[in-house]
Amino acid sequence: MSLYADSLKTLSVTDLAAMKQAREKISCLTAYDASFGALLDRTGIDVILVGDSLGMVIQGHDSTLPVTIEDMVYHTRCVASARKRAFIVSDLPFASYATPNDALRNAARLLQKGQAQMVKLEGARIDVIGFLVEQGIPVCAHLGLLPQSVNRIGGYKVQGRDPAQAQKILDDALAVERAGANLLVLECVPALLAAGIAQKLSIPVIGIGAGVGCDGQVLVLYDMLNIGAGNRPRFSKNFMAGAESIEDAVRQFHRAVKAAEFPADEHCY
């Protein structure tokens, strides 16, 4: 049972930090509209990520790169309009945080117009993270596989398998925490590496393809419902299999995360 399952108030960054301290796993799914936002909220999902993954699952692109800040503000506002309890994180899209001032301008739009509670950005952008935190904007960092850098890294590949790369991810994780990030997403990294990072950091670490040792788990909603336009990633799971409804599938995901039953070995690297 969640510490905050019956809470009538919106969850905050301090609530997420308390969940980590209590060793309660944090459940997170993406959503892009009011209907799914409301469904995830009533099933008890702790964090709703309005991800730039909407570029692929909503807009039909082959990457997240075409997504604009206008897209993110619109979809975040849609989700926020239906949410009562869940904590809302919104992605800063590609090229929207090239400088600290760019990041501030666009993050402010996501919080003011989109009603997000936190923004997420990819990479160890210490200068940007520190500047946003100084302005009172909560930040979620994102390390490991960085979808916005897919052209630079040559595709969607597991990161951190060799010792030098693993050390770099660990060093970056410690650096983003020192810069003031309140949350970290680790994507497509070996489970042992991710678990070690989660143990070393005081902030919650949310995994996607990063093993059960993280403090929480996130999946793209359309992937776990098996309705994505592309192939479902290995680290995801079809929670619709055997479910009575979409809401039942989401509840099964939520329970599996809380019980540390997902991800299983077959979803890890």
Instruction: Supply the residues annotated as catalytic.
Output: 187
Instruction: Give the 3-state secondary structure of residue 106.
Output: helix
DSSP secondary structure string for all residues of 163-221: HHHHHHHHHHHHHHHHHT-SEEEEES--HHHHHHHHHH-SS-EEEESS-TTSSEEEE-H
Helical axes 126-134 vs 163-179, angle rounded to 10°: 20
CA atoms within 13 A on the CB side of 67: 30
- Spatial separation of the C-alpha atoms in residues 105 and 1, rounded to whole Å: 39
DSSP E strands in the chain: the ranges are 26-30, 47-50, 87-91, 118-122, 139-144, 183-187, 205-208, 216-219
Contact 196, 173 (CB under 8 A): no
115-33-148 Cα angle (round to 5): 80
Q: How many CB atoms lie within 10 A of CB 22?
A: 9
- Do 267 and 237 touch, CB atoms closer than 8 A? yes
Partnered with residue 173 across adjacent β-strands are none
| 50: three-class secondary structure by DSSP | strand
CA-angle at 195, arms to 137 and 127, nearest 5°:
30
Q: Say how many Å lie between the first and final Cα of the chain, rounded.
A: 29
